[in-house]
Structure 1
Amino acid sequence: MRITAAQRTENENRVRAAIDRLLRGEIPPGGKCDIKTLASEAVVDRTAFYGTRPYAHLRVEFEQRLQAMQDAGEIPDPREAQIFRLKAENNKLKERLDRSEQKVEDLTDFRGQALAQLAAQREEIVRLREAAAGTARVSHLPSPRTTVIGSCS
């Protein structure tokens, strides 16, 4: 069924108004900032936005404006903005986890080296004590004397 020029103009005005609302972030519940929601908000058949259909130029205009906003760092769809924010936060947390895991691995290696060194030093001390117990040439030093400092009058 064909529509009149006045109906087409009215439909285009509704589509442009819906584009403006969506790009301002006025997303209806359950909707997104996309062509499907645009068509339902403008009460126009979604297929009219594709190919050589009458509103294909409005779809292109909508997509270009949306892309320009996204390139500028503006995301009109609150859910998309939340997804973007959560992905960035997730990446930060992954990097932090990787650093923590590397630190734990480094500290575990250090602990193993320290324990091995302590065990080797203990074995050396035991060996030296056994060697010293077998010889009479080792003499023990006397305990240090404590001196009292007298007061001057």
Structure 2
Amino acid sequence: MPRISDADRARNEEAIRAAMGRLLRGELPVGGKCDLKALAAEAGVTRTSFYPKKNRDGTTRPGPYQHLGEEFERRLKAQRDAGEAPDPRAAQIERLKAQVAELKERVAKRDEALAELTAFKTLAVSRLTAQHEEIERLREQEAAAGNVRRLPAASSGTAPYGSCS
């Protein structure tokens, strides 16, 4: 003999289906998620009624509302696969995960660009240092030889030597 009457079972199934519809539309309780726990709380039934039970001989039998729990899970999975998320927190978590992945990629690219720029700077500074040392060496060599004469500076307003004008 069942523990609850058929009328009570039918009333509970109606309450579960109504709660299932509300949850899948996104009408979640404050602080709740779109899961079996919230479904049971919304429908006013125990959560364990959605899971299989064990008989005394060790065999399993379906829970009284297990078929509704499985239907809820199927519909919820179908919505998520279609890109609809009745649970705004789950959607936010997915959005934030995607954002974190994008930011990690951007940081990696910036780190790579920074490494390239650092290498370029090192190379440029070493080349400038080598050029400066070469200029200093040539100046010392020119000063030591003493056979190089400077041309006189042109006075302002006059044309330089060898000018065609």
Is TM (by shorter chain) over 0.5? yes
Which stretch shifts more, 26-35 or 1-10? 1-10
Which stretch shifts more, 135-144 or 20-29? 135-144
Matched residues in 2 for 1:70 and 1:18: separation?
18
In the alignment, structure 1 residue 138 sits paired with structure 2 residue 153: no
Q: Where does residue 25 of structure 1 map in the other structure? A: 26
Distance 1:96 1:144, change over 3 A: farther
Tell me which amino acid in the other structure corresponds to 1:32.
K
Matched residues in 1 for 2:18 and 2:137: separation?
91
Matched residues in 2 for 1:130 and 1:31: separation?
83
**3-state SS, counterpart of residue 73 of structure 1:** coil
Q: Give 1:135 shift.
A: 1.1
Matched residues in 2 for 1:67 and 1:47: separation?
21
Identity of aligned residues (%): 53
Q: Where does residue 55 of structure 2 map in the other structure? A: none
Q: Give 1:141 shift.
A: 3.0
Q: Where does residue 13 of structure 1 map in the other structure? A: 14
Q: Where does residue 59 of structure 2 map in the other structure? A: none
In the alignment, structure 1 residue 42 sits paired with structure 2 residue 43: yes
Q: Give 1:147 shift.
A: 4.7
| 1:98-140 Cα shifts (integer Å, max 9, x gaps) | 1111111111111111111111111111111111111132222
Q: Where does residue 81 of structure 1 map in the other structure? A: 91
Q: Where does residue 115 of structure 1 map in the other structure? A: 125
Alignment of 1:45-84 (within 5 A): 45-51=46-52, 52-84=62-94
**3-state SS, counterpart of residue 134 of structure 1:** helix
Matched residues in 1 for 2:154 and 2:101: separation?
63
Q: Give 1:144 shift.
A: 4.8
Q: Where does residue 138 of structure 2 map in the other structure? A: 128
Tell me which amino acid in the other structure corresponds to 1:134.
A
In the alignment, structure 1 residue 99 sits paired with structure 2 residue 112: no
Matched residues in 2 for 1:142 and 1:89: separation?
69
Q: Where does residue 3 of structure 1 map in the other structure? A: 4
Q: What CA RMSD, in Å, does the superposition of the two structures yield over aligned residues?
A: 1.5
**3-state SS, counterpart of residue 3 of structure 1:** coil
